[in-house]
A and B are shown apart, each in its own frame.
Chain A
Amino acid sequence: MLRAYDYTEYTKGRSEIQDAKRFNEELWLAKTAVDRVLQLDTDGPARCPGCGSSHIVPFFVKWGAAYLMCDDCASVFTEVGDAALEAYRQDEALTRFRSSPEYQGEATQKRMQSWQETLDWIRFRCFRHLGRHEDLTAVTGGDRYTGFTELMRASPLCRSYRPIWEQEPDGTADIAVSLDLIQQSNCPERELMEIGRCLAPGGLLFLSARLGTGFDVLVLREHAPIYPYGYVSLLSQRGLEAVLARTGFEILDLTTPGHMDVGYVHSRRALIPAQDLFVRNLIFNSDPIVLGEFQRFLQKSGMSSYAHIVAKKVADK
């Protein structure tokens, strides 16, 4: 496995990926949906969704949902059963909001540059590991943004780009894309098995995921920009490695290119726990250059809360 850090240096307004008013509206709809489904079912996994350990400790509670931390691999997750999660996903108001032209249009406008970078990343790594980056059969575990789907379909990278439930037959896709999906699942193993089913042996999985061991999550806890049940399984690097190995993938590249941890903590600095003296001193008293250097350190050290993984399908499971 190539352990590399992908240090990305941004110099302007990169964190403005969503209008604050729209973000708050989405948050309110999500909370309403959570309030409703919390009554339904809270029977979730008794074990860590990453390494499978049963050594679990409480971490924090948000909107009535308890987040737990695995004592072995440090993955963070909230217990939620399949029925409740499905009800949350099908919530009519939230679904309607996210599929609205305004929501999708804003995403296309504000995220196109980062989507283009994601596409470049996929093309570069396809060439590196497959020796080609055009005319590939590609599947996706599901895209939240139609703009990204259109970008992929228009790219020379893809001969076809279909959701996994439309891919026939199994075991034929050259690449599979799973961007920010497994964090929404209460069983990442099941999601990865499903997406792996579509891949040909030697095919590549491009996975991005929010990590539970990221700086902003560990510092801000319930005040971090994560919430039930948009963020269910926040695996650690070790947790991700374990679940990928169990589902028949060999990790080729693992980077933590997230660039927003420090920005998140800085914008919520009043909520940093009083006993975190070092972090408070860092965030309150450092100039932007020092904070930028600290973000770089997080990326390089695998402590950013966002992971990019390229993995090869090595076996049918």
Chain B
Amino acid sequence: MKRLTTVVIGMGRMGKMRYEKLKRHGGFQITGVCDEKPENLQGYPEPGYVDWEECLARCDPEVVFVCTVNAAIPAVVCRALSLGKHVFSEKPPGRDLADAEAMRREGERHPECVLKFGFNHRYHNCVIEAKALIQSGLIGDVVCARGVYGKAGSPTFAEEWRNDIRLSGGGILLDQGIHMLDLLRYFLGEFDRIMGRSVDTLVWKQLPTEDSAFAILKTQDGKLASLHSNALQWRHKFDLDIICTQGYIALNGLITSTNSYGEEKMTYYKKDLNARSGALGKPLEHTMCFDQDQSWEHEHQEFYEAVVSGTPIRNGTAQDAVRVMELVERIYGNTGRGPAL
């Protein structure tokens, strides 16, 4: 297995997690780690850097994993691409659409480099199965979807950097709701209209960022989706209903490192108006329940294959990043809570 020299820039929670997964993959030889907080570098055998430019210059890696705060992502990604490095960047792709577009342009200037963004949810088992079921045509065409992605908040929620709008660019919609937006695009296609939206700070009143974002979106061919991204669910919650012409899919829960989003399940049934499979209104229902999260492994493997074998990136392309940031920005509009502030 070819081993790619790799540095991880940003060793907060996501950087540490990526580091562990990359070590386990075997195809990435980590030659340096970087974080502006020296305490985040303790305990790692690789050389540690507090300056990301020095890290890139000294390590001269083939691959750069960018796991910094949102505000730093564009500069690191663009610099790494300009140096001819392959780049994997955490989501969100910067603080705003301009950041995402800048990274896409830099990527286009360096077509020899792979650029991928971490829209990791596409690799969860429930999402993989739902996508296959829809593509199989067995339950017809998607017509609409409802997505709810909620966080519990925490005693220190207000102090988190994610709620510092200078570093994050936005609140819960940009931080977590972006995953649900990406999935809605993945299942329904491109949205060209925002039919309704409300971005609010309903409970965490002291925050400049939103704790709740509702949106209704419509594709050009008339598919509808609703989204509620929030930090006031008071528990972790992931629910996505997908209604098709011949059936229905519900994704409930996600396996994560904290095991706090509940059991990851995909439930589906076929339309049965003649009640052949069950009572009318209660057709035969299948539930697949998953006990493993292989999403990180799948995501890293796709990136690895793209670098080593030149296979195209399927998920988390620069185009995906720009399109989803367009939606984020349009949902924020002039509410004063997102990047349009």
**A residues at B contact (CB < 8 Å):** 2-12, 113, 117, 120, 123-124, 127-128, 133, 255, 257, 300
Query: How far is A12 from B284 in the complex, measured between Cα atoms in Å?
Result: 10
Contacts of B135 in A (CB 8 A): 127
Contacts of B292 in A (CB 8 A): 2-3
**B residues at A contact (CB < 8 Å):** 125, 129, 132-133, 135-136, 138, 270, 276-279, 282, 284-292
- A6, B288: Cβ atoms closer than 8 Å: yes
Given A3-B292, A4-B288, A10-B284: A127 and B277 within 8 A (CB)? no
- A113, B277: Cβ atoms closer than 8 Å: yes
The closest CB in chain B to the CB of A112 belongs to B276
Query: How far is A128 from B288 in the complex, measured between Cα atoms in Å?
Result: 14
Contacts of B289 in A (CB 8 A): 4-5, 7, 300
Contacts of A257 in B (CB 8 A): 286
- A123, B129: Cβ atoms closer than 8 Å: no
Contacts of A12 in B (CB 8 A): 278-279
- A7, B286: Cβ atoms closer than 8 Å: yes
Contacts of B285 in A (CB 8 A): 7-9
The closest CB in chain A to the CB of B129 belongs to A128
- B291, A3: Cβ atoms closer than 8 Å: yes
- A120, B270: Cβ atoms closer than 8 Å: yes
- A5, B288: Cβ atoms closer than 8 Å: yes
Given A3-B292, A133-B136: A8 and B286 within 8 A (CB)? yes
- A117, B277: Cβ atoms closer than 8 Å: yes
The closest CB in chain B to the CB of A132 belongs to B136
Query: How far is A2 from B290 in the complex, measured between Cα atoms in Å?
Result: 7
- A127, B132: Cβ atoms closer than 8 Å: yes
Query: How far is A134 from B129 in the complex, measured between Cα atoms in Å?
Result: 18
What's the minimum C-beta distance from B203 to chain A, rounded to whole angstroms?
Answer: 35
Can you list 8 residue pairs at the A/B interface with Cβ under 8 Å? Answer: A3-B292, A4-B288, A5-B288, A8-B285, A9-B284, A11-B279, A120-B270, A257-B286
Contacts of B284 in A (CB 8 A): 8-10, 117
What's the minimum C-beta distance from A311 to chain B, rounded to whole angstroms?
Answer: 17
Query: How far is A12 from B291 in the complex, measured between Cα atoms in Å?
Result: 30
Query: How far is A133 from B135 in the complex, measured between Cα atoms in Å?
Result: 11
